[in-house]
Amino acid sequence: MVKAFDFLTIEIILIFVVSNILHFFLQRHGQPSIISQILAGIMVGRTVLLNPKFSESSGNIVDYFSDVVLQARVVFMFIIGLEVDVVYLRQNIRRACSIALASISACMALSLAASPLLYPLLSRDGASRLLFILTIGLFLSNSASPVLVCIATDLKLVSSKIGKLAISSAVVNDLTAVVAFFLYSLQLRRSYSAVLSNGIPGKMLDLLVWVILVSLAMLLMKWYISNVEVGCVLIVVGGIIFFMEFVGYDNKTMSFLLGLAFPRKGPTARTILDKLMFSVHSIILPLYFSGVFVNYNLNVLVGKAARKMIGIAFLVSFLSMAGKVTGTVAVTRFIFKTRLRESVVLGILLNAKGYMDIMFLSVGLRYKLWGFDTAVVLMFTIIINTFIACPVARLIVAWERRAYRYNPQSLEHLGPDNQLCVLACVHGQREVPAMLTLCTLCAGNGWSLIAVYLLHLLELTQKYAVDLMNNQKSLNNSSWENDGDDVRQVSLAADSFSQDSGLFIKQLTTLSSYKSMNEDIYMGAEEVRACLVLLPFHKEQRYDRRMVCRKDEKRQLNLKVLQHAPCTIGILVDRPVGSGMSIGMYSTTASLRSARTSTANTDLETPATVTSSGPVHQIVAIFFGGPDDREAASLLARVAPHKSVNATLVRFLPNTEDTLSRNWSSRCTSEFALITEHDMQLERDEQFLTAYQHRYVASGIVTYAERQVNSGPETVTALSSMAGMYSLFIVGKGGPHLSTPMMAGIRDWEECPELGPIGDLLASDDFMDSGSVLIMQQHKVPTNKSRIHNDILR
């Protein structure tokens, strides 16, 4: 026993060393860690280092190692279930189910069509043809969501649209495979006279007990969310998992389902992920993927029959890929109108194989549907499919980054029916309510139209530098939240807001100096594919309603982000003393809470409506013309459908007679290029407003008004008459095209040019002391020269 334990320790150390060495070289070529871990399992397994003689002399070391891996898989599967985006899965359940079922049906049909070829090549003599076709069909149709989650996490594909859809479809596919395996194993036991003494009704009774236990566990976990330590939750999870294993069910599947059903709201789920993430990725993942392949000796693929067996493996892999791609394309291309390239890539990603496929291999071996050589061939097929999925995922990442950087990331081009991804940046707890209130209003009629990421911008001071050196705390580690510092306050404020409003918020933290903090915002926006980045204004409102600047570095940060903006940027000037966004937040959440409690059947996909106190926020968008003002109007269209919003669009127009009396010859000389761009923007403004009035104004969603002014002072007078009427002003930053008589002299008063002339005027203490202001700058697609410059900066 001691000798076996020594060899077991040596094998585990070898797996860690070999996997890290391989990953050091493979990561330079964009390969995720799963590839190096699979190769380490093959090298350290029976194939290279542990031949049968060595295994016997070491006390059957592989069996001991399998027991260790068995326990590691439980934690791994629970974490994988916890990492799945359940909110996206619930919002897109119809699409995910359609893709999963279509790919399963296509693979089952292909296995039936190819059975005359596969049955003589893979089956044992005397094996049931029907059971063989069913087993190989389940093997071909399964998609491994844990493997896909690992690949997507390593390559930062989790936040992309195609990555989320692939993971959601794989989860549905996995759940379908679990149910199919349960029914299939019952039928096999019945047909082979191996049913337990209590029979099928007894297993159904066990299943009922399983459902009751899961329900009770979920209730306990919801109760524990804000009061019990992480260890207590893990003890409850572990107890349920091992009890179900004692009853006779698979503990890996149970742990994955518990992680999938774990409540996402509150700090518990985030804390569990933060505390276990390093251990899972550094220790458990290498053991898991290496342990999968350590029991199979691929040396049987060497020799005279090697070509035939490898050819069969590639044939099975081709059939699996063909079924996945065919089913996925049939649904996404012709029903959901997805582009052909994305449909094919999605099908290849869903072809990744994993643990459920190994279970089907074990069933085939147990009931003598095929021999060990066939199992090795099918295991080699799993390796081929995983190796194919990794470069495809890397290709998707390259496509997504190129598309994000060089395509317009603006609300005007996004459209009102697509999901808006918002990266809300805060420096402290004070800015959280206003930012999240604005994000809640942007959801409009449904939570499916908004995805919110709260990025806490933490300055790297000497205190945090010492903590990092002494305690080795990571940015995503929940230990920050236990120190009573700014991170904990921001986290508690966001959790409280999420609980009251129902808005699902993903919290991120970055720690850097103000000089390089803009790079963190760029990378964060690109990683989550944000279409809108919200930044707080560098000034704060005091109790006497005066705006003061606490740190000038915040203003320099905003200037840097605006200069190389990766998407549309919004700077929020919050005035909490008065009728700003922070004040409206409390009445909004209170109304939402009362609406949820007074309604028996509340739709999870729709924010609760305000029925008692009426509209809370009076929001107006000021439109002079140009891309930034169109962006402001587009954001107004997003918030207008919300039940607690009265939305108004006010367009400022020059006097018609004054416009006709302008001297055309003077325009065509010194300002020819500028006027040409101005005329183009005027034409786009008219097209935009025509469509805007047809969709929003005619239906009564947005109120439309016009103001005619002849000069800058008249513009100022018209704006001053709106003071105190609205809780939020949405304005565009503007540009050179606003050099019109309406703006004459206003730029001379600018204190903060980054806000634009109108935004700076509305944010001024001398002009207005109530009502928040949101200044929008539309994303501009970089030209060839600026593309090269931006790539160098990033």
Q: Give pLDDT, residue 600.
A: 36
Range from 56-70, 362-376, 655-669 carrying the lowest mean pLDDT:
655-669
Average the pLDDT over 337-366 and give the result. Answer: 83
Q: What is the pTM of this model?
A: 0.78
Find the radius of gyration of the CA atoms of the chain.
30
Q: For residue 471, what pLDDT band results from cuts at 50, 70 and 90?
A: very low
Percentage above 70 pLDDT, the chain:
72
- In the prediction, which pLDDT does 200 show? 45
Structure-token match 């592989």, residue found:
62
**Structure tokens given for 366:** 């147990």
pLDDT 10s digits, 601-658: 333 343 433 334 445 789 999 999 889 999 999 999 999 999 889 999 999 988 755 4
592 has a pLDDT exceeding 90: no
Give residue for tokens 């349960």.
182
Across 220-247, b (16+ Cβ under 10 Å) vs e yields ebeebbeeeebeebeebbbebbeebbee
* d(C-alpha 557, C-alpha 522), whole Å: 12
What distance in Å separates the CA atoms of residue 147 and residue 170, rounded to the nearest whole number? 10
pLDDT digits (tens, 9 = 90+) for 1-19: 446 666 667 777 887 888 8
Q: Assign 518 a pLDDT band (cuts: 50, 70, 90).
A: very high
Q: Residue 12's pLDDT is what? A: 75
Crossing angle of helices 552-563 and 517-528, rounded to 10°: 50
**pLDDT, mean over the chain:** 77
Q: Are strands 450-459 and 532-536 parallel, antiparallel or unpaired?
A: unpaired
What is the distance between the alpha carbons of residues 175 and 180, in angstroms, rounded to a whole number? Answer: 9
* Span of 274-278, 680-684, 785-789 with lowest mean pLDDT: 785-789
Q: What is the pLDDT of residue 223?
A: 45
pLDDT in tens, 93-103: 888 899 999 99
Give the CA distances from residue 426 to residues 39, 430, 535, in Å, rounded to whole numbers and listed in that order.
Answer: 43, 8, 7
690 band by pLDDT with thresholds 50, 70 and 90: very high
The rounded percent of the chain whose pLDDT value lies above 90 is 21
Instruction: Supply the pLDDT for residue 594.
Output: 43
b vs e for 117-135, b when ≥16 Cβ sit within 10 Å of the residue's Cβ?
ebbeebbeeebbeebbbbb
- The C-alpha atoms of residue 574 and residue 568 are separated, in whole angstroms, by 19
Q: Which residue has the higher pLDDT, 778 or 197?
A: 778
- More reliable by pLDDT, 217 or 117: 117
Least confident of 116-125, 230-239, 516-525, 550-559: 230-239
Flag the least confident range among 172-176, 219-223, 274-278, 436-440. 219-223
The stretch 743-756 carries a mean pLDDT of 82
CA distance 642 to 636: 10
Task: State the Cα–Cα distance between residues 286 and 280, nearest whole angstrom.
Answer: 9
Reported confidence tier of residue 672, pLDDT bands at 50, 70, 90 = very low
Max mean pLDDT among 246-260, 383-397, 607-621 falls in 383-397
Q: State the pLDDT at residue 484.
A: 44
User: What integer pLDDT is reported at residue 193 of this predicted model?
Assistant: 44
Per-residue confidence band for 214, with pLDDT thresholds at 50, 70 and 90: low
pLDDT of residue 604: 33
Q: What is the DSSP pairing of strand 568-573 with strand 772-777?
A: antiparallel
How far apart (Å, rounded) are the C-alpha atoms in residues 733 and 722? 19
Nearest 5°: CA angle at 600, between 594 and 602?
75
Q: Which of 82-91, 128-137, 629-638 has the lowest mean pLDDT?
A: 82-91
- Across the strands, what pairs with 568? 532
User: Per-residue pLDDT tens for 530-552?
Assistant: 999 999 999 988 888 888 888 88
| Mean pLDDT of the 712-732 span | 90
Residues 175-201: tens digit of each pLDDT = 887 777 767 666 555 554 443 444 445
Q: What is the pLDDT, as a whole number, of residue 42?
A: 75
Q: Is the pLDDT at 58 greater than 60, yes or no?
A: no
Which of 500, 508, 463 minimizes the C-alpha distance to 483? 463
Average pLDDT over residues 561-574: 92
* pLDDT of residue 406 exceeding 90: no
Is the pLDDT at 259 greater than 90? The verdict is no
Local structure of residue 669 (DSSP, 8 states): T
**DSSP code per residue over 124-144:** PTT--HHHHHHHHHHHHH---
Whole-angstrom Cα distance, residue 392 to residue 395? 5
Q: Which helix (H) or strand (E) holds 684?
A: helix 672-692
Task: Tell me what pLDDT residue 501 has.
Answer: 84
567 pLDDT more than 80: yes
Helix (H, G, I), strand (E, B) or coil at 451: strand
